[in-house]
Amino acid sequence: MKTKLLLTAAVLLSTSAFAQTTSQTELVVEPMNPTPVFHVSVTSRNVQAINYKHRGGTTKLDFAGTDLMPAATGQAKVESKKGYVEIEVEFANLQKPTVFGGEYLTYVLWAISPEGRAINLGEILVGYNHRSKVDVTTDLQAFALVVTAEPYYAVRQPSNVVVIENVVRPDTKGTTEALNAKYELMERGGYIPTGYKFDPVVLNTRLPLEFFEARNAVRIAQSEGAEQYASDSYQHAVRLMDKVDLFATSKHTDRKAMIAVAREVVQTAEDARAITVKKIDEQRQANERQAAANAQAQTQAEADDATRQKQQAQSDQARAEIAKAQAESDTANAQAATREAQAATANAEAAKTQAELNAANAQADKQQADSDAATARANAADSQADSDKARADMADSQAASATAVSAAQADADRSRAAAQQAQLKTDQAETDKLAMRAKLSEQLNAVLQTRDSARGLIVSMSDVLFESGEYSLKSGAREKLAKVAGILLAYPGLNIAVGGYTDNVGGDTMNQKLSENRAGSVRDYLVQEGVSANSVTAQGYGNSSPVATNNNAAGRQQNRRVELVVSGEAIGHPVDATTGSLR
């Protein structure tokens, strides 16, 4: 028969749900403290479990106290019957459970399966002379027996305050199995709310243990969050606890009725706590699944973005290669046109030289004819007798002179015609150069804004092709410069001057350095794309040459630029170009 625990000493009891006054007859109900934190640790213990066999008869085993209560002892009679095992246990030298903390009010006997499953077999109440007995049954066939200190009898998880473990005797019947499983134990002190300060109370000896267990159960359920996650069960437990308080404060207490309701409070509060733990765990698992799904989605998004960037890079590379191939084709055509123009120029120069030579010969022939005519006239004056003959000879000489003059005039006409033809070819060569210049300007303008000037073709690049305050080229800038490089490769012999400019924001030294770095970046990329390093120069001008006002954002953006000045004999000079300075 169970004996009741007589509580006669002043102890410290955690009462975050209810605070007692020092009066032995009156209680005051107060709100609970904020939700505390409980700690659960997984502990591995080695305990011998016994397989009692089905209907294996009666056997005995002993109990020994752990390091927490080494003086405790016990003995059990175990009888395996049809469908269940009956256990009669008697313990001795059990100290009050409150020695482990004010929240520990009772002991619970547990059956532990070899797989680590713990089953609450019942409450152990300390009786007279620190002895107690209990008769219980279990449907397990193989198990170990342990006793733990607990806050109330209906707990579903053993605390790590293990005070007694079974010991196999030499005459114990059954098969011994080593139990070395990990099972969850509530950490010692885990029932104490965080930051809670104990109030010293005197326990009324007429109040049963079940009253204080009920208070613990409600307090722990609320501390776990049952008010939020298991509201119906928790509120039902609170209403039952109110009834228990009425019993406790009544002058004529019905002890049996109080105990019955108090035990119902414990059971209801424990159900609420168990529901809460389950819901919190489900919520945690749902959050973990959602976090995993979010992480997976983020990873997939990053992978998709990387794939898109790779595809874009491949597309840009393909376009650059096409532009380069087109540029190489244009280069070959331009080289052929240049050779043809050079040949035409050489032929024109040769024709001009021959015409000048023919004109000189004609002039010499005319001079010789004039000399011959003078000689004839002298001979006629010296000889009167031969005057007729002389006149005849002179007539013949004049005729010959006229013929020579006519021939010389014809040669001069032919020379002038050849010179005119040479001039036409020279003009055609200049026209071809201007056409080539116009074509180059059109090709460059299709990529970047281009204008003609006396200095050459000026290709403008705004600062949006760079990161703010930086000189690293963006991907769009590199693509445009690759196209420009491909176009320039088609026109050999060109000179490219790269100039960098800034607005007046910031110091002069910083702006000068930034303009030099930006010009250098453009030059290096053109060389990287195949443009001859000897034909490209770079220079920074800082904020010294604005093209617009620096008093507003639009003007400053125009002043932040990089310009390419493209010139060379191959593209000639514009016919009506006005003198201008490099901007």
User: Is the dihedral angle over the CA atoms 500, 505, 509, 514 positive or is it negative?
Assistant: negative
Burial pattern 525-545, b for ≥16 Cβ within 10 A else e, equals bbeebebeeebbebebbbbeb
- Read off the pLDDT of residues 410-434 as tens digits, 9 standing for 90 and up: 877 787 887 788 788 777 778 888 8
The per-residue pLDDT for 285 is 93
Name the more confident of 344 and 265: 265
- Helix and strand element counts for the chain (H, E): 8, 21
Which structure tokens are listed for 376?
């004839």
Q: In whole numbers, what is the pLDDT of the chain averaged over residues?
A: 80
Q: Taking a C-beta distance cutoff of 8 angstroms, is the pair 288, 280 a contact?
A: no
Quote the CA–CA distance of 75 and 77 in Å, as a whole number.
7
Q: Taking a C-beta distance cutoff of 8 angstroms, is the pair 143, 111 a contact?
A: yes
Q: Taking a C-beta distance cutoff of 8 angstroms, is the pair 326, 484 a contact?
A: no
The per-residue pLDDT for 369 is 64
Q: Residues 153-175: what's their mean pLDDT?
A: 88
The per-residue pLDDT for 44 is 59
Tell me: pLDDT of 582 over 80.
no
Tell me: pLDDT of 396 over 80.
no
219: nearest Cα among 15, 34, 11: 15
- Read off the pLDDT of residues 235-257 as tens digits, 9 standing for 90 and up: 999 999 999 998 888 877 788 88
How far does Cα 148 stand from its chain's mean position?
Answer: 50
Outline where DSSP puts E strands in 442-583: 450-453, 456-462, 495-501, 536-540, 561-567
Q: Residues 265-287: what's their mean pLDDT?
A: 91
Q: Name the pairing type of β-strands 495-501 and 536-540.
A: parallel
Quote the CA–CA distance of 216 and 222 in Å, as a whole number.
10
Q: Output the 3-class SS for 400-441.
A: HHHHHHHHHHHHHHHHHHHHHHHHHHHHHHHHHHHHHHHHHH
Residue 69 pLDDT level (bands cut at 50, 70, 90): very high
The per-residue pLDDT for 509 is 92
Q: Residues 515-521: what's their mean pLDDT?
A: 92
The per-residue pLDDT for 26 is 32
The per-residue pLDDT for 135 is 94
The per-residue pLDDT for 186 is 63
Which structure tokens are listed for 171?
């005459």
Q: Taking a C-beta distance cutoff of 8 angstroms, is the pair 550, 542 a contact?
A: no
- Read off the pLDDT of residues 301-357 as tens digits, 9 standing for 90 and up: 999 989 999 999 899 889 988 989 988 888 888 888 888 878 877 887 787 788 678
Coil, strand or helix at 140? coil
Tokens 């924001």 correspond to 505
442: nearest Cα among 425, 461, 459, 464: 459
The per-residue pLDDT for 62 is 93
Q: What is the pTM of this model?
A: 0.44
> Mean pLDDT highest for which of 69-83, 181-195, 375-389?
69-83
- Read off the pLDDT of residues 83-139 as tens digits, 9 standing for 90 and up: 899 999 999 999 999 888 888 999 999 999 888 889 999 999 887 777 789 999 999
Quote the CA–CA distance of 196 and 252 in Å, as a whole number.
33
- Read off the pLDDT of residues 191-238 as tens digits, 9 standing for 90 and up: 555 554 433 334 456 788 889 899 988 988 898 899 999 999 999 999
Quote the CA–CA distance of 215 and 104 in Å, as a whole number.
12
Quote the CA–CA distance of 418 and 356 in Å, as a whole number.
9
Quote the CA–CA distance of 187 and 162 in Å, as a whole number.
11
Q: Taking a C-beta distance cutoff of 8 angstroms, is the pair 486, 323 a contact?
A: yes
3: nearest Cα among 78, 94, 113, 115: 94
The per-residue pLDDT for 204 is 58
Dihedral pair phi/psi, residue 67, rounded to 5°? -60, -25
Quote the CA–CA distance of 150 and 161 in Å, as a whole number.
8
Residue 399 pLDDT level (bands cut at 50, 70, 90): confident
